[in-house]
Amino acid sequence: MTETPRKPLAGPAAALEAKILDRSALAGVIGLGYVGLPLTVELGRSGYSVFGLDNSQQKVESIGRGECYIPDVDAELFANLTSQQKLTASTDDGALGDCDAVSICVPTPLRKTKDPDLSYVIEAAEALSRRLHPGMLVILESTTYPGTTEEAILPVLERSGLKVGEDFFLCFSPERVDPGNERFSTRDIPKVIGGVTETCTRLGELYYSQVMQQVVPVSSTAVAEMVKLLENTFRMINIGLANEMALMCGHMGIDVWEVIEAAATKPFGFMPFYPGPGLGGHCIPVDPHYLSWKTKQAGYEPRFIELASEINGKMPARVVETIQQALNRDKKAVNGSRIHVVGVAYKRGVSDVRESPAIDVIGLLGQLGAEIGYSDPFVPRLRAGELELVAEPLDKAAGAADCVVIVTDHAGVDYAALAARAKLVVDTRNALKGTPGDHIVRL
């Protein structure tokens, strides 16, 4: 079946199309963290000049020196882009007025009440509204609830007096960055995009198709917003199931790791998820609550999300309970015991400690009177509640501790040597799979 030819664009849309295709468009990125900085580099790699805006003077200065602070970014490419002035950054939003396409990649945390905090997104939109010009494309990438782009961002941008779909163009494209993933980089991951109007979607698709290997257009911003929430809710719920399976197997004296490994041999109808000490990071523990909040506003109770969140949220306490039981077996109390935590980042291969279950585990152990130390090759210093800790060499700390707890299973750690040195090990990640020893206790 032959596709119906698209009508030629006209006016500001045609002017933007030409700039995108000949790479004369100035690209802008607001927020230069784990999502924004890799995007700026891919835009620069694709031939665009890129302006990055961030409220961190430290990040801006690092970019000015050509020093990359995100491990997943190609450091040599980054240095070349900054030295050629293809990538510049500032804390001053004045240069946004020169940009033709701007991606918003700012944090969207939760308030203590589990309600969405859109303050960073609204701040970015207000800065853009003051400098919005005909022919500008704005793409929100920050994860949020369905409806945010049109309900919260569009009204702010329309204060400029410009009309969406004719004068300026607005889309949502969910970020799909997976920090520490060596197989899939920003360029490799298919890019979903949905616009407020058909023309918005068309221009957003065209822009990102110059940068990404595959772009997936969808019918609306709400669909694109829901895509990211489905992806992360899917993971949260299945991790919650794996954690509950671990709890059930523990009560029945069954090795949950062996169960999952055997089940994973089924070539269809099963995808393995694994238990652990709890959820961490800026996505999976947070994003489903955006969906939960929005659906409650619509009068629907999202029971799966609430239950999975409850199970996952109790896992740090379950880890501490396992430590207590293991120490009791050795006739020791947590109070006064030296407990050494291995890995405090929220996942292997990264330095990010946001929402890390290790912080909860350390806090609970501290309340019980434990003397706590930690090792993590990516996190030299850690603040956990009132505790301020400095990473210790693992080879010395493991032998001196009453109990070693593996919370994050970074690659590069000699786990066999750790098991040989330690008096007692609580392994929450199955990092010591196949290592014999009665002193090893698995979650």
Tens-place pLDDT, residues 58-68? 999 999 999 99
Q: Read off the tokens for 42.
A: 């891919």
Q: Are residues 201 and 179 in contact, defined by beta-carbon separation less than 8 angstroms?
A: no
Task: Calculate the alpha carbon distances from 282 to 72, 109, 185, 288 in Å.
Answer: 16, 8, 18, 11
Is residue 403 part of the annotated active site? The answer reads no
pLDDT band at 3 (very low <50, low <70, confident <90, very high): low
Q: Which of 68, 171, 200, 283 is catalytic?
A: 283
Domain ranges of the chain: 11-219, 222-313, 314-443
Name which of 392, 427, 110, 398 is nearest 277 in CA terms. Answer: 427
Amino acid at 134: P
The pLDDT of 296-322, averaged and rounded, is 90
Give the homologous superfamily in CATH for domain 222-313.
N-(1-d-carboxylethyl)-l-norvaline Dehydrogenase; domain 2 (1.10.1040.10)
Tens-place pLDDT, residues 362-421? 999 999 999 999 999 999 999 988 889 999 999 899 999 999 999 999 998 999 999 999
- With tokens 């956990």, the residue in question is 384
Lowest-pLDDT range of 86-90, 114-118, 178-182, 310-314: 178-182
pTM over 0.85, yes/no? yes
Q: Does position 310 have pLDDT exceeding 80, yes or no?
A: yes
- With tokens 């379950």, the residue in question is 318
- What is the reported pLDDT for 35? 92
Alpha helices in 130-276 (DSSP H): 148, 154-157, 198-209, 221-252, 256-263
The fraction of the chain above a pLDDT of 90, given in percent, is 79
pLDDT band at 117 (very low <50, low <70, confident <90, very high): confident
Residue spans of beta strands (DSSP E) within 161-213: 169-172, 191-195
Q: Read off the tokens for 126.
A: 């207000």
Query: Which fold would CATH assign to domain 11-219?
Result: Rossmann fold (3.40.50)
- What is the reported pLDDT for 196? 98
4 burial class (0-12, 13-18, 19+ CB within 10 angstroms)? exposed
- What is the reported pLDDT for 115? 76
Q: Are residues 290 and 229 in contact, defined by beta-carbon separation less than 8 angstroms?
A: yes
**Topology match between the domains 222-313 and 314-443:** no
* Residue 217 bridge partners (DSSP): 193
The pLDDT of 54-59, averaged and rounded, is 96
CATH of domain 314-443: 3.40.50.720
Tens-place pLDDT, residues 135-151? 999 999 998 889 999 99
Q: Are residues 315 and 276 in contact, defined by beta-carbon separation less than 8 angstroms?
A: yes
Q: Are residues 360 and 392 in contact, defined by beta-carbon separation less than 8 angstroms?
A: no
Q: What gap in Å lies between CA 219 and CA 146, rounded to an integer?
A: 13
Alpha helices in 46-105 (DSSP H): 57-64, 75-83
Q: What gap in Å lies between CA 137 and CA 131, rounded to an integer?
A: 12
- What is the reported pLDDT for 280? 80
